[in-house]
């Protein structure tokens, strides 16, 4: 019997092709791993604040850049000045790319200093992208009796705090210790809007730990009217919006105080960082990162960000990792100073 080798070869090739089609992963045909999935996007504060505004604007545009166009559900997870959201993402969230969070950058500082309530390793999160580099502020209500920066040294200034680890607590504590200012910090004010309402009622004199981008987005009218006054800013330089407002670094009297504040303010570069849990598969992580960059360049997102007055000084995972390593690797004298300022016990 004569064997038709060519015919046999065609049969074999066809069978292999059919086998490949039948055994191919479903996500190769349905638009990607994320097709039909729902991605949870956690926010480390209550509704209506800066993190919430950024997260919800981002969530409206991110899905169209992900293969399969999954749904995004924003979940407000306030508590512990952002530590609750960070702990949940690190320890409880699924590690397949379906859980992400905009985390409070201040959480990473207290973790780097050994805060026991921070149940995570800074360097093991999966970075997705940073929505905006930031500058921080201390502001007062116009009826507070605080008129200028110099008053912060002479008068008690009552400010609200979202809790341990939050900028609303760590920054005024640092100003008291390093600069001898007179902030009195009242805990229990979850969310920027809650503190703003308390300022209007006269319950608080002011608020620290509010990013410039949040002021631009939520309090533009009050800034123009003069009812909301920025009296101090924190960052590695003066923000262009408030060039006439002193930066805390300029007020440091000693090299040690300046070095401590410089390390503390480095976290502001991670203003609105988006992370996934540790150990997300490389393919899913790359997809999340690529879609993030595409969203940041999306004309529709840019238009909405402009309308909402959101800052778009974004950057990607590589710089996020660099900043995180610098924060973790700060000198021990600087860390000791910051632990004292922030009342962090790093002993085992």
User: Looking at the predicted structure, is the pLDDT value of residue 14 above 80?
Assistant: no
User: Looking at the predicted structure, is the pLDDT value of residue 213 above 90?
Assistant: no
Q: Calculate mean pLDDT across residues 8-26.
A: 40
- 188-209 confidence digits (pLDDT tens): 998 889 999 999 999 999 999 9
pTM exceeds 0.75 for this model:
yes
pLDDT grade for 348, boundaries at 50, 70 and 90: low
Please report the pLDDT score of residue 15 as a whole number: 40
Domains assigned to the chain: 38-133+270-342 (3.40.190.150), 136-267 (3.40.190.10)
pLDDT grade for 137, boundaries at 50, 70 and 90: very high
Please report the pLDDT score of residue 155 as a whole number: 95
Q: Calculate mean pLDDT across residues 318-335.
A: 92
pLDDT grade for 271, boundaries at 50, 70 and 90: confident
Of the given ranges (21-25, 34-38, 234-238, 274-278), which has the lowest mean pLDDT?
21-25
3-state secondary structure the chain: CCCCHHHHHHHHHHHHHHHHHHHCCHHHCCCCCCCCCEEEEEECCCCCCHHHHHHHHHHCCCHHHCCCCCEEEEEECCCHHHHHHHHHHHHCCCCCCCEEEECCHHHHHHHHCCCCCCCCCHHHCEEEEECCCCCEEEEEECCCCCCCCCHHHHCCEEEEECCCCCHHHHHHHHHHHHHCCCEEEEECCCCHHHHHHHHHHCCCCEEEEEEHHHHHHHCHHHHHHCCEEEEEEECCCCCHHHCCCCEHHHHCCCHHHHHHHHHHHHHHHCCCEEEECCCCCHHHHHHHHHHHHHHHCCHHHHHHHHHHCCCCCCECHHHHHHHHHHHHCCCHHHHHHHHHHHCCCCCC
């Amino acid at each position: 019997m004569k064997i038709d080798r060519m015919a046999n070869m065609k049969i074999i090739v066809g069978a292999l092709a059919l086998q490949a089609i039948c055994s191919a992963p479903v996500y190769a045909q349905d638009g990607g791993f994320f097709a039909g999935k729902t991605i949870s996007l956690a926010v480390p504060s209550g509704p209506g604040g800066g993190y919430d505004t950024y997260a919800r604007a981002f969530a409206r545009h991110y899905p169209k850049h992900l293969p399969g166009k999954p749904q995004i559900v924003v979940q407000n997870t306030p508590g512990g000045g952002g530590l609750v959201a960070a702990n949940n993402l690190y320890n409880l969230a699924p590690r397949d790319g379906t859980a992400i969070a905009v985390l409070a950058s201040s959480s990473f500082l207290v973790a780097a200093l050994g805060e026991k309530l921070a149940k995570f390793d800074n360097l093991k999160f999966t970075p997705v992208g940073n929505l905006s580099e930031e500058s921080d502020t201390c502001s007062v209500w116009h009826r507070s009796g605080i008129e200028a920066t110099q008053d912060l040294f002479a008068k008690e200034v009552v400010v609200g705090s979202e809790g341990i680890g939050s900028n609303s607590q760590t920054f005024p504590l640092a100003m008291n210790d390093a600069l001898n200012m007179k902030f009195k910090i009242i805990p229990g004010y979850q969310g920027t809007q809650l503190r703003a309402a308390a300022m209007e009622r006269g319950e608080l004199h002011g608020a620290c730990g509010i990013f410039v981008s949040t002021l631009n987005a939520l309090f533009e009218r009050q800034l123009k009217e003069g009812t909301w006054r920025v009296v101090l800013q924190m960052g590695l330089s003066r923000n262009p919006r408030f060039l006439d407002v002193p930066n805390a670094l300029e007020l440091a009297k000693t090299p040690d105080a300046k070095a401590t504040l410089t390390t503390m303010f480095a976290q502001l570069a991670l203003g609105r960082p988006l992370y996934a849990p540790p150990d997300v598969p490389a393919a899913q992580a790359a997809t999340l990162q690529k879609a993030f960059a595409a969203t940041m360049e999306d004309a529709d997102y840019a238009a909405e960000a402009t309308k909402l007055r959101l800052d778009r000084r974004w950057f990607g995972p590589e710089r996020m990792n660099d900043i995180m390593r610098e924060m973790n690797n700060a000198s021990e004298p600087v860390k000791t100073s910051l632990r004292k300022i922030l009342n962090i016990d790093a002993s085992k």
